[in-house]
Structure 1
Amino acid sequence: MLPNRRTAAAIGTLALAGALICAAPAQAESASPAPAAPKTAKSAPKGDGAKAICKRLPKTETRVSTAITRLKGDATVLGSVARLEQRVTNAQTAGHTEVHTYLNDRLTFRKSLLPTLQKRQDDLKAVSTWCSAQESK
């Protein structure tokens, strides 16, 4: 004899409810926050990454020289020190003290970038010489 639809629905509902009740304690145990283990490197680096640095050197040199050129540009060049100086002057003239302070702080940082990038450019020249010497070995 085949069960009617009501009986089949009741059996299905009971089975679902039983499965949910049985799963609740397991979820409660897994939901309790366990102390997370700190993420650590699997091993310490074995080298200094010189091969990768030499491989990326042309692109790095281009990026640094482009940034220096941009910073040294005139007031028409986006991102230049001169353009930001003009904006600081305009804000001061307009009496926007908060904007003037904000832009002036950005200008101070941008001016500090130039010597840093120039030093990096000199360092990259030395690295380029080293990489060339390694290739000839």
Structure 2
Amino acid sequence: MHPHRKTAAVIGALALGTTLVALTGPAQAATPSATPVASQTPKVLPTPEGDGAKGICKRLPKADQRIKNALDRLNGPVTEAGSIARLQQRVNNAKAAGHTAIYNDLNDRLTYRKSLVPTLTQRQSDLNAVATWCSSQGLGTPTAQ
């Protein structure tokens, strides 16, 4: 299912639930609940004994590949779904058609998507340094860039 359809389904379900609660009438709404809401206590974890370097080094190749794939997609051509160029074209089309609400929504998404590039580039750089460290500690091999 498309993510926007899932969101619409969830919003619809919430609206239906709210409507049903409102239809139950003020008599039930004015009556206090018989059972109090149980407070949830946060899960207590043991104190970490290390920094998790072994696990980080183990997951490094997959993390690096995910970042590379995301950057490739973002920097892709107009024909690639998820690319900045494709979303820019949609923004231009909405502006040309005079669809102000659509233009504003797409432009906000474009701004966010453009902000991902420097963040992911920095993460990629950080992972390269971690890969070098992991290799020097005998915990893995550096990733090829």
Which structure shows the bigger proportion of residues in helix conformation? 1
Q: Deviations over 1:32-73 (max 9, x none)?
A: 447535223232222211111100000001000010011111
1:104-123 matches, cutoff 5 A: 104-123=107-126
Q: Which residue pairs with 1:95 in the alignment?
A: 98
Q: Deviations over 1:90-120 (max 9, x none)?
A: 0001111000000000000000000000000
Unaligned runs of 5+ in 2: 1-33, 140-145
User: Are residues 1:58 and 2:57 paired?
Assistant: no
User: Are residues 1:86 and 2:89 paired?
Assistant: yes
Report the more deviating stretch, 42-51 or 113-122. 42-51
Instruction: Rate the CA distance shift 1:49–1:101 in 2: closer, same or farther, 3 A.
Output: same
1:70-85 matches, cutoff 5 A: 70-85=73-88
Q: TM-score, normalised by structure 1?
A: 0.72
Q: TM-score, normalised by structure 2?
A: 0.68
User: Are residues 1:135 and 2:138 paired?
Assistant: yes
Structure number with greater Rg is 1
Q: Which residue pairs with 2:70 in the alignment?
A: 67
Root-mean-square deviation (CA, aligned residues, Å) is 1.7
State the AA in 2 paired with 1:112. Answer: S
Aligned pairs, number: 106
